[in-house]
Structure 1
Amino acid sequence: MNRVRLLIFNAALGPLDYRVPDGMQVVPGSVVSAPLGPRQIIGIVWEAERLPGEAVPDAKLRPILDVLPVPPLRGELRRLIEWTADYYCAPIAHVARMVLASGGALKGPATMTEYRLSGGLPERMTPKRELAMAALEGEQATIRELAETAGVSDAVLRGLVNQGVLEPVEVDCDRPYPQARADHDEPVLEESQVEAAGTFVEAVTARQFAPFLLDGVTGSGKTEVYFEAVAEALRLGRQVLVLLPEIALTENFLRRFEERFGAPPVTWHSSLKSTERRRAWRAIATGHAQVVVGARSALFLPYANLGLVVVDEAHEVSFKQDDGVRYNARDVAVMRARFEKIPVILASATPALESLQMAESGIYTRVELASRYGGATLPDISLVDLTEEKPERGRWLAPRLAKEMEARLERGEQSLLFLNRRGYAPLTLCRNCGFRFQCSNCSAWLVEHRFTQKLACHHCGHEEAPPATCPDCGEPDCMVACGPGVERIADEVAEILPEARVAVVTSDTLNSPERAAQFVAQAEGGAIDVIVGTQLVTKGFHFPELTLVGVVDADLGLEGGDLRAAERTYQQVAQVAGRAGRGSKPGEVLIQTRHPDAPVIAALANGDRDAFYEAETEARRDAGAPPFGRWAAIIVSSEDEAEARDAARAIGGTRPDLADIAVLGPAPAPMALLRGRYRYRLLLNARRSAELQDVIRKWLGALDFPRGVRVHVDVDPYSFV
C-alpha cells in the first residue's frame, strides 16, 4: 500500500498518515487535501523519516482526496522549514503555514470579476456615493476591496453597480507581470562600486552559497551595486528576493527599481489585496515572478528558481518577528541562501554587531564602500549639550537648532527632525489630582494623538477619546501633556517657523505604500520644508535638498532595559544623520543630548564607528552576550495573573542545572500586562557551545500547563518588554 505522511497546520495533532489512492501521483512537497473527521484539511506531503509520529495500521488509513494544482514545495524549502522550527523552538506546522500564505493560490487557474468606475453618474447622488466615487478614481478591485478603499459598505457600491456607475471587468487571476530587463538603464558606477558589483556578479554566476556583508556609508550607492547582481540573475533566468524592513520604503524602492530595469518588481507585504497575494504567490511558485521585493514573510514563499537573496538595511530590528514564529529574517535569509546554494547580500551602513563579527571571523565576505557616490561628502556632526544650551521654557528644540532650521528655510533647503516617539505626548495626566491615563489592556500609558483626537495604546491598539473631565476627580479642562512626541515637535516648528511647510512622518501617517509614495513625491518636489519623523525616516530616503538633520533627544533610546540599547541608538542616529547632504550641498547634523560623554554619543560626534563597535564588542564579550553567547527568553502569559505566576514558577522550579546555561527569573515582564494577558519572563544566557534549543524543548516538554496559559520561546530576542 502506498502511504504518506502529511504535515498539517494543527500543531496539537502533529503529522498524520494517509493512503494514496491508485492512480494518484504525489511526491514529497505535494500540497494535498485530505479528510480529518468530517472536515477537509490542507497538508504537505513530507518525508516520513523527517517527521516523527506514531505509525497507523494500514487498515485505518484514510485516502488523500486531491492533489492541489500548485508545484510541490522544493526540498530546499522543506529543509528551511525544518531548520526554522528547530532553531526557534516553534511548531513546524506554524512555520509551514507561512509558506501557504495565500489560500486562493491553491485553487489553480481562475478568472475573477473586478469593478472600476465607468465614467457615468448615479441617478441620485448621496454623500456616501460621492465619497466612494472620489476615492475610487483609478482603482480596480473586487467589491469588498473597493469598499475598504472607499470606507463605505458593500451595499453602497452594489447600488453603484446596479446603476452602471461601476462596471465589471473580467480578469485573469494569473495574468503575467511585466518583464524586467537587465540592460534597461545601466548606471555609470564609480571604481569602488564596479569592484564591489563584480564580486557579487561572480557569486551569482557561480551559484554557490556565499554570504556577503555590503558595508557602505550612507549615500555610497549600495542599492546600485547590488542591482548589478540582480541584473546578472535576470540574465541567467533566476529569481531574486530583496527584503526591506518597512512597507513605507517599498514605493521609493519600486520607483528606483523600475527606472533601472524598466518594470516594477513583484511585491509581497501585509497590505496586498487577497487577489494580489494570490497572483504573486502563483507567479513565484511557477518561476514567472523575476524579482520579489517584500517584507520578512517573503522569505518563506515557494520560489521555483531562486538565484540571489538581498537583505537591505540588514541591521533593522523590524526584521525580527515578535509574535507567532519569532524568527529573525536576516538570519533565516542566510539559511535560505545556504539551502538553495546561492549568494546572499546583507546591506547596511550600520551593520549589526553579529554581522560584523561573522565578517571578522571570515564566515561572511565583507565588501566595503567607504565614500559617498558622486563626490558628496558626509555631513558635519556636532553635539548640542542640553544642560548648557537649554531650550526656551515649554520648548524642546535648542536655540542653535532652531536658528539653523531658519537659515535652511531662507536658503530653500530642507530640514529633518528625528524623535523616535509617535503621537503628541507619551503621557497625559490630570494637573489637579495627578491621575494618569493608562491602557486598560496593558501596563502602558496612553499616548495622546492630537491629529486624530485620540488617546492610544501603541501596544494593543486600544483607543479612546480624550475626556472632557478627569475620570478620577471630575475636574474639567485639566489634561496636561508630559514630554514630546513628533506631533508636539511639529507644533513647535510651526510656532518657530510659521511659514514652513511641515510633514510628520510616522507609521501612523505613512501606513500604506500609496501614502509613502505621496510623501516622497512632495519631499522631492520641494513641497516640504521640514520633516518631523520617527525611525521611519532613518533609512532608505534620498532627498538632495535636505541639508540639516536635528536629533531631538539622542538619549531616548538609551533608556529602559534593552541590552542592545547602545547599538540600536548608534544605528538610528547614524542612519538619520546619513539623510543630510546626500546631494551636491554639504550637510550638517545637530544631536541634542544631556549625556555628551556617553560612549555612543561621543562616537557619533566623532564619526568614529570603529571605536564604538570595538567598545561594544568587548562589553558583549565580557557579558557573554551575542555574538559571543546566546540569549533566549521564555514568556509565560495568562488572562489570570495568579495562573501566569504559578506557571512561571513551575518552569523556574524545574530549571536545568547546567554549567553552560544561566537562567534568570521568573520575574514579571517589564510590560507585565499586554493585550489583557499577564506576563512573566525567564531569560537564559548560554555559552555558544550549549545545546540551547534541545535543553529548552526537553525542559518545557516535561511540563503541563493549564489551558489558559501560553508559553512562548524567543530565541535571540530583540525585545525585552
Structure 2
Amino acid sequence: MASGSDSPVATISSDSPSEPQAKGAASSRLESVENTVKVLLPLPLGDAYDYRVPEGMAVVPGHFVIVPLGKRETVGVVWGTGTGDVAPEKLRDVIAVLPALPMADAMRRFVDWVSAYTLMPAGAVLRMAMSVPSALEAPKTELVYRPAAPTEDTALKLTAARRRVLEQLKDGPAMAAAELAHLAGVGTSVVKSMASVGLLVAEERIVRRSFPQPDGLHDGPTLSAAQKIAADSLVEKVKAHAFSATLLDGVPGAGKTEVYFEAVAACLAAGRQVLVLLPEIALTAQWLRRFEDRFGALPSPWHSGLTSLERRETWRAIAEGRVGVVVGARSALFLPFANLGLIVVDEEHDSSFKQDEGVVYNARDMAVVRARLASAPIVLASATPSLESVVNVKTGRYGEVHLPGRHGGHRLATLSAIDLRREAPSRGRWLSPPVVEAMKKTLAAGEQTLLYLNRRGYAPITLCRACGSGLECPQCSAWLVEHRFRRTLVCHHCGYTEPPAQTCRHCGAVDQFVACGPGVERLAEEALELFPEARLELFTSDSLMNRDEASAAVERMEKGEIDILIGTQMAAKGHHFPNLTLVAVIDADLGLNGGDLRAAERTFQLLYQVAGRAGRDGRPGRALIQTHNPDHPVMQALVSGDRDRFVEVELHDRSLAGMPPYGRLASLIISGPDPVAVDNVCAALARQAPQQEGVTILGPSVAPLALLRGRHRRRFLLKAGRETAVQPLLHAWLEKIGLPGSVRLQVDVDPYSFL
C-alpha cells in the first residue's frame, strides 16, 4: 500500500490500526485505478488507504469524505488516485463527500512535507490541518424574507403593521423573521402571515458570521527614512507574488512592526490573505491595538482560547477567503487559507515556536516551507535573530532588511553588569545594593521598574533542615515548586499539586522545611518590604490566567498604575511601556547552566530583549544585570552592546564543533512506565545504529528529566554534517525496531530541548 507521502515516513507507533483495505495482497490490477482513491485519515498512520468510489459519486483530490474504518465511520481527505494494489473484494466504498471546500493542493503537499521532515505519520500531521471537524459539516441555514412582486390585490392585504414590515425591506437585504419583526415593531407572526398570503417570499440562506475587514488602504503612520527603505523592500516582494524569505532585523524599539505592517497593507490591497505568527498569542493586547489603529479593524485571532463556535466559524471563513488577516500561535500555520499572500513570523528566534509534543516541529521553519509552497513571501522579524536565520542570510538563502536604531532617535538603554561576588545582597535577600539604590531613584522620579526573574512561584526548591531531603514530584524527576500565594506545591512539568508539607516524609521532622532560592513571589515579598508604598504586580502565567487578565495588566502598566512589575519571560516579549526606565535582571546566569547547545544564544536573546523594554519613549533607560560571572561572553556582549560580535563568536564555536547551523542533530526519546522495557528497546536501537562516516550516535543515556509524567526516559542523539540528510538514516534505523505497546519513541529533528 502506498504512503500518502512522496518521502519515506517512519511509522513508529506499535498499535496503529491495520484495516483490510490498507494492506491488500499484491494482486494483479483487477480494477481500474480510476475507480479507487487514496484517503488519508487524521490518525497516527503513515499510509493512505484505498477506497472504491461508488458509481455516480464525483470525488477529486482534496475532498473531505466519510469512509468506513473497521466498525466505525471516520472523515478523511482524498489524497490521490488509488494504487490498484488492493483486491476488489477487499475494497470498501466511500460513504459520502462532505460539503466543505476541498483541501488545496499546496496544503496537501505541506502535510506531506512536514510528515517526511519530522518523520511523523502523515495522518498525525493531517489531524492538525483538520483541527475543527465541525467546520467540515454543512453550515446552518435560516429563513429570510424579501418582498414579493406586487399584484392587483396587494394594497387590499396591507395593514399598518404590514406596511412597516415592507418599509424595513425597502431597498435593503432580506432579513430573518425575528430581526425584521424587531425593526418593524411587530410580532414574528405578522411576518409569517405576510409570507402565507404572498406579500413576502421566504428564502433559505446560509448563516455566516461576519468578520472584521482590515483595510490595506487605511492611512498609516509616517515612517522614518530607514523604516521607509525597509518597508518598500518588503512591499516589492509582496507585489511580486512569489516566494522569498526576508529577515527583518532591528534593535528593540526600531519600529519593526510598523515596517512589516506596510507589507501587510500591500497584501490586503492585492486581495490576498496574511498570516502573522506571534510567540505569545495570549499577550498581544498592544499589538492588536497597533494593528487596529493601522488598518481600521482587528485581525482574526487563532489560539487555544477560542470557543468551539469561534473556531468553526473562523476556520470556514479562512477557507472561503472571507478573513483577510489571521494572527495566531504556531497551530495557525495549518489553517486552510484560500489565497495566502504573506506570512510574518514575529520574534522569529523565540523557542516557543518549537512544539515538543505530538508532531514535533518548529513553526518558524515550517512557515518558510508553507510560504514556498504557496508562492508567497515570508518575513522573519526579530531584534535577536536565531543563528540559523543569520547563516541563511550569509549564504544568500534569505534576504535582509536592517533597522540599526530606535524609531524617533531614542537611545537604547545602558546595560551594566553587577558582580554578585563583590556586591552581594544581604543574607536572605536577592536584590543587590546597586539595584535597590536604582529602584529608589526610579520611584522618586515617578518612573517604573521591571524586575525580571524567569522562575515562577516562591522558591524553586524546598528542603528539610533536619535531613536535607527535598520535596520532589512523585511523577517526574523534578522538584516541587512552592507557590506561597496560592498555598500549594506544583510540578511545572506535569502539573501535579499538593498542599504545603508540614512533616518530612523522609525523616519525620515537623515544620523544618525551608525555601531555597528565589522565585518571583519571593522577590515580590522582598520588594514590598523595601518599598511598602509602591504599587507592585506580578506578570506571570500563574498570576495572569487568561488573555483578558494579561491585557488588563498591560493596560495598568501603560497608564502608570504600577510602580514595580515583577515578571518572568512573559514580560520580556514585545511590550512597550512608555514610563518604564529601569530593568533589573535578578539572576542572569540562570539560563547558562545545563550544557544546552543553545544556552548562550537563548540567554543573550532573552536578556537583550528584556533590557530593551527600558527607555522606549524618550526617557533614558537603564538595565542592571546581576551575575556571578560578569566575564562570561554573554555578559560581555550585553554590556558592550556588541551583538554582532557575540553572534560571530558563537557561530565560530558552532562551526568548529559541527553543531547547528553548521551540522544536523536529531534526537530519539524512548519512554515507558517500565524502565526495563525502555532499556531493552534502547539496547536494540544501539545494536542497529547507523554506521556511516560523518555520522555520530550518542547514547543511549538517561535523560536529564529521567522521569516525566510517570514514564522513564532515555535519549539518543544523532549528529551529522550539514550535507547529510538525516531523515533516510533515521527511517532505515527505526524500521528495524519493534516497540512493545507500552514504549513510545519520539523523533525530534532539529531539537531545541535536551531534557
TM-score calculated relative to the size of structure 2: 0.86
Match of 2:131 in 1: 101
Task: Answer yes or no: is the 8 Å Cα contact 2:46–2:122 preserved in 1.
Answer: no
Equivalent of residue 57 in structure 2, options 20, 24, 30: 24
Equivalent of residue 598 in structure 1, options 603, 626, 632: 632
Task: Answer yes or no: is the 8 Å Cα contact 1:383–1:605 preserved in 2.
Answer: yes
Match of 2:162 in 1: none
Q: Which amino acid aligns with 1:469?
A: T
Equivalent of residue 86 in structure 1, options 116, 128, 133: 116
In the TM superposition, 1:227-238 aligns within 5 A as 227-238=261-272
Match of 1:554 in 2: 588
Q: Which amino acid aligns with 1:90?
A: M
**In 2, Cα distance between the equivalents of 1:322 and 1:352?**
18
Match of 1:248 in 2: 282
Match of 2:19 in 1: none
**In 1, Cα distance between the equivalents of 2:638 and 2:283?**
25
Q: Does 1:180 align with 2:214?
A: yes
Q: Does 1:55 align with 2:85?
A: yes
Q: Which amino acid aligns with 1:301?
A: L
Q: Which amino acid aligns with 2:115?
A: A
Residue deviations 1:262-321, cap 9 Å, x none?
111111111111111111111111111110000001001110000000000000000000
Task: Answer yes or no: is the 8 Å Cα contact 2:344–2:378 preserved in 1.
Answer: yes
**In 2, Cα distance between the equivalents of 1:54 and 1:683?**
40
The Cα shift of 1:172 comes to: 8.2
Task: Answer yes or no: is the 8 Å Cα contact 2:667–2:715 preserved in 1.
Answer: yes
Other structure's SS at 2:669 match: strand
Task: Answer yes or no: is the 8 Å Cα contact 1:248–1:510 preserved in 2.
Answer: no
Equivalent of residue 627 in structure 1, options 618, 643, 661: 661
**In 2, Cα distance between the equivalents of 1:378 and 1:499?**
30
Residue deviations 1:584-628, cap 9 Å, x none?
201001010110101111000100101100110010001100010
Task: Answer yes or no: is the 8 Å Cα contact 1:185–1:259 preserved in 2.
Answer: no
Stretch deviating more after TM superposition (305-314 or 639-648): 639-648
The Cα shift of 1:252 comes to: 2.5
Task: Answer yes or no: is the 8 Å Cα contact 2:576–2:613 preserved in 1.
Answer: yes
**In 1, Cα distance between the equivalents of 2:501 and 2:252?**
45
**In 2, Cα distance between the equivalents of 1:350 and 1:108?**
46
Q: Does 1:215 align with 2:249?
A: yes
Match of 1:318 in 2: 352
**In 1, Cα distance between the equivalents of 2:485 and 2:356?**
28
Question: Following superposition, which runs of at least 4 residues in structure 1 exceed 6 angstroms of deviation?
Answer: none
Larger radius of gyration: 2
Stretch deviating more after TM superposition (506-515 or 458-467): 506-515
Other structure's SS at 1:323 match: coil
**In 2, Cα distance between the equivalents of 1:663 and 1:60?**
43
Equivalent of residue 77 in structure 2, options 44, 58, 63: 44
Task: Answer yes or no: is the 8 Å Cα contact 2:250–2:404 preserved in 1.
Answer: yes
**In 2, Cα distance between the equivalents of 1:619 and 1:174?**
56
The Cα shift of 1:476 comes to: 2.6
Residue deviations 1:388-412, cap 9 Å, x none?
0110111011011011111111111
The Cα shift of 1:11 comes to: 2.9
Match of 2:333 in 1: 299
The Cα shift of 1:180 comes to: 1.0
Match of 2:455 in 1: 421
Task: Answer yes or no: is the 8 Å Cα contact 2:247–2:393 preserved in 1.
Answer: yes
**In 2, Cα distance between the equivalents of 1:248 and 1:18?**
42
Match of 1:138 in 2: none
Q: Which amino acid aligns with 1:6?
A: V
Equivalent of residue 360 in structure 1, options 394, 403, 424: 394
Q: Does 1:489 align with 2:523?
A: yes
**In 1, Cα distance between the equivalents of 2:425 and 2:595?**
28
Q: Does 1:518 align with 2:548?
A: no
The Cα shift of 1:111 comes to: 6.7
Superposition RMSD in Å: 1.5
Q: Does 1:348 align with 2:382?
A: yes
Stretch deviating more after TM superposition (181-190 or 193-202): 181-190
Other structure's SS at 2:274 match: strand
**In 2, Cα distance between the equivalents of 1:531 and 1:11?**
45
Unaligned runs of 5+ in 1: 113-170
Task: Answer yes or no: is the 8 Å Cα contact 2:46–2:121 preserved in 1.
Answer: no
**In 2, Cα distance between the equivalents of 1:467 and 1:384?**
36
In the TM superposition, 1:392-411 aligns within 5 A as 392-411=426-445
The Cα shift of 1:54 comes to: 7.7
The Cα shift of 1:583 comes to: 0.3
Task: Answer yes or no: is the 8 Å Cα contact 2:42–2:130 preserved in 1.
Answer: no
**In 2, Cα distance between the equivalents of 1:107 and 1:545?**
51
The Cα shift of 1:253 comes to: 1.7
Match of 2:107 in 1: 77
The Cα shift of 1:332 comes to: 0.3
**In 2, Cα distance between the equivalents of 1:173 and 1:326?**
37
**In 2, Cα distance between the equivalents of 1:97 and 1:361?**
35
Quote the sequence identity (%): 53
Residue deviations 1:370-421, cap 9 Å, x none?
0001121101111100000110111011011011111111111001111111
**In 1, Cα distance between the equivalents of 2:219 and 2:457?**
42
Task: Answer yes or no: is the 8 Å Cα contact 1:424–1:485 preserved in 2.
Answer: yes
The Cα shift of 1:434 comes to: 1.7
TM-score calculated relative to the size of structure 1: 0.90
**In 2, Cα distance between the equivalents of 1:514 and 1:406?**
31
Task: Answer yes or no: is the 8 Å Cα contact 1:248–1:511 preserved in 2.
Answer: no
Match of 1:663 in 2: 697
Match of 1:4 in 2: 37
In the TM superposition, 1:665-680 aligns within 5 A as 665-680=699-714
The Cα shift of 1:13 comes to: 7.5
Other structure's SS at 2:66 match: strand
Match of 2:225 in 1: 191
The Cα shift of 1:46 comes to: 0.6
Other structure's SS at 1:451 match: helix
**In 1, Cα distance between the equivalents of 2:629 and 2:311?**
48
**In 2, Cα distance between the equivalents of 1:717 and 1:392?**
40
Match of 1:166 in 2: none
Q: Which amino acid aligns with 1:390?
A: A
Q: Which amino acid aligns with 1:612?
A: F
Residue deviations 1:524-556, cap 9 Å, x none?
111111111111111110001000000101111
**In 2, Cα distance between the equivalents of 1:250 and 1:110?**
32
Other structure's SS at 1:469 match: coil
The Cα shift of 1:430 comes to: 1.3
Match of 1:636 in 2: 670
Task: Answer yes or no: is the 8 Å Cα contact 1:247–1:512 preserved in 2.
Answer: no
Q: Which amino acid aligns with 2:593?
A: E
Task: Answer yes or no: is the 8 Å Cα contact 1:248–1:536 preserved in 2.
Answer: no
Q: Which amino acid aligns with 1:620?
A: R
Equivalent of residue 610 in structure 2, options 576, 588, 594: 576
Q: Does 1:650 align with 2:684?
A: yes
**In 2, Cα distance between the equivalents of 1:400 and 1:262?**
46
Unaligned runs of 5+ in 2: 1-31, 143-204
**In 2, Cα distance between the equivalents of 1:511 and 1:20?**
49
Stretch deviating more after TM superposition (707-716 or 248-257): 248-257
The Cα shift of 1:12 comes to: 4.3
The Cα shift of 1:79 comes to: 1.0
Match of 1:149 in 2: none
Task: Answer yes or no: is the 8 Å Cα contact 2:460–2:517 preserved in 1.
Answer: yes
The Cα shift of 1:573 comes to: 0.2
**In 2, Cα distance between the equivalents of 1:553 and 1:58?**
68
The Cα shift of 1:178 comes to: 1.6
**Structure 1 residues 554 and 173: CA distance shift in structure 2, 3 A:** farther
Q: Does 1:536 align with 2:566?
A: no
Task: Answer yes or no: is the 8 Å Cα contact 2:245–2:398 preserved in 1.
Answer: yes
Residue deviations 1:180-210, cap 9 Å, x none?
1123341111011111111111111110101
Q: Does 1:269 align with 2:299?
A: no
